[in-house]
Amino acid sequence: SQQGEEDPQALSIQEGENATMNCSYKTSINNLQWYRQNSGRGLVHLILIRSNEREKHSGRLRVTLDTSKKSSSLLITASRAADTASYFCATEQGAQKLVFGQGTRLTINP
Amino acid sequence: GAVVSQHPSWVICKSGTSVKIECRSLDFQATTMFWYRQFPKQSLMLMATSNEGSKATYEQGVEKDKFLINHASLTLSTLTVTSAHPEDSSFYICSARRALMPLHFGNGTRLTVT
């Protein structure tokens, strides 16, 4: 399979807590991206981290990338109920093709 | 606002009929669009790359004759599921890239074949 692995597959936390999701991939990459998907909807781009970057921040999001381990993590701080969604990592594999990980279903309990 | 529009958002059809799904880039030209398929609680699987003015490039295992892709203009790609069967029921999502920007995704089409 070309797809990467994400863990956990499902995560349920209390509002206000931090949520961490991990992603591993198999091939060399130019960049790694994280997307969010609300139930039954399309994907929304969250953040892109290039292969020469190790960490990137955007608001309450923090992404790390370890190319030696072929892994990335997404941290959402001070979670809110509205953060409930599925989160996918994706790697770009030539000609703009994105290959998605299995996703993490995040539930924020109020 | 949305930059990629997908229509319809949901469709129910009878087995054996064909269904067309449209993907439009609203305020930019997209020479390349992508079609994905997603089963419940699963990830997105790339089906094909739609190229304006040329044939689509299909991923391994995707039937070209069943999933017809037409990218007739720089703002429109269509996916036609021909002779649909219940196993074709799924969530179909298109995406397009704006120059120097990450991919934008449509809101998806929920296809149910009865």
State the nearest Cα–Cα gap between A85 and chain B, in angstroms. Answer: 11
Model confidence pLDDT, tens digit, residues B85-109: 999 999 999 999 776 677 889 999 9
Looking up tokens 């994105």 gives A98
Q: CB contact, 8 Å: B15 with chain A? A: no
Q: What is the pLDDT of residue A7?
A: 82
* pLDDT band, very low/low/confident/very high, at A40 (cuts 50, 70, 90): confident
* pLDDT band, very low/low/confident/very high, at A1 (cuts 50, 70, 90): very low
Question: Above 50 in pLDDT, residue B15?
Answer: yes
Do you find a cis peptide bond into B102, omega within 30 degrees of 0? no
Evaluate whether B38 touches B91 at the Cβ level (below 8 Å).
yes
Q: What is the pLDDT of residue A108?
A: 97
Question: Above 80 in pLDDT, residue A93?
Answer: no
| CB-CB under 8 Å, A102 with B103 | no
Q: What is the pLDDT of residue B1?
A: 57
User: Nearest-CA residue of chain A relative to B10?
Assistant: A40
CA distance B35 to B47: 6
Model confidence pLDDT, tens digit, residues B71-89: 888 899 999 999 999 999 9
Strands (DSSP E) along B26-89, which ranges?
32-38, 44-51, 57-58, 67-73, 76-81
State the nearest Cα–Cα gap between B10 and chain A, in angstroms. Answer: 10
Q: What is the pLDDT of residue B2?
A: 61
With beta carbons under 8 A apart, name residues in chain B contacting A96: 32, 34, 49, 97, 103
**Mean pLDDT over all residues of chain A?**
91
Question: Above 50 in pLDDT, residue B68?
Answer: yes
* pLDDT band, very low/low/confident/very high, at A8 (cuts 50, 70, 90): confident
Q: What is the pLDDT of residue A94?
A: 67
Model confidence pLDDT, tens digit, residues A47-68: 999 999 999 999 999 999 999 9
